[in-house]
């Protein structure tokens, strides 16, 4: 199976539901979930920082994916994890938007990959 499809399925079945769970539960989340958001944010930032460096050095047109994770997603997760039950509603709504955007993007990616394989 194509690695892009595996990454897309990972996002569709694990990342998106987790983001939407956090966004919809808001201040009703168990405290450990907030700590997991901080850990996830740090891991995302470090991993995508490394990948961005590699891709930028290789002049890859896909570095933007890693930069978005570093500049938007990791800071948002870190902020929600840090503020815990004091997180403003707007942050949860932004996380919901990111979750729905990820769902749309990765569904599109799977369809496009499958269409290209048929050629």
Tell me the C-alpha distance between 76 and 38, whole Å.
10
Per-residue pLDDT for 118 more than 80? no
Q: Is the pLDDT of residue 2 over 90?
A: no
Using CA atoms, how far apart are residues 42 and 27, in angstroms rounded to an integer? Answer: 22
* Domain interval for residue 15: 3-118
- pLDDT digit string (tens) for 33-67? 999 999 999 999 999 999 999 999 999 999 999 99
Distance CA 102, CA 29 (A): 22
Please write the tens of the pLDDT for every residue from 84-93: 999 999 999 9
| Total domain count, the chain | 1
Q: Which among 100, 103, 86, 75 is positioned nearest to 29, based on CA atoms? A: 86
């Amino acid at each position: 199976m194509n690695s892009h499809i595996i990454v897309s399925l990972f996002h569709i079945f694990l990342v998106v539901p987790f983001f939407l769970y956090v966004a919809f539960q808001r201040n009703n989340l168990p405290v450990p979930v907030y700590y997991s958001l901080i850990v996830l944010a740090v891991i995302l930032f470090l991993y995508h920082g490394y990948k961005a460096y590699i891709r930028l050095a290789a002049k890859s047109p896909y570095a933007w994916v890693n930069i978005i994770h570093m500049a938007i997603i990791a800071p948002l997760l870190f902020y929600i994890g840090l503020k815990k039950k004091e997180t403003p509603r707007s942050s949860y709504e932004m996380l919901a938007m990111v979750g729905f955007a990820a769902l749309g993007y990765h569904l599109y990616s799977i369809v496009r990959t499958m269409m290209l394989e048929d050629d």
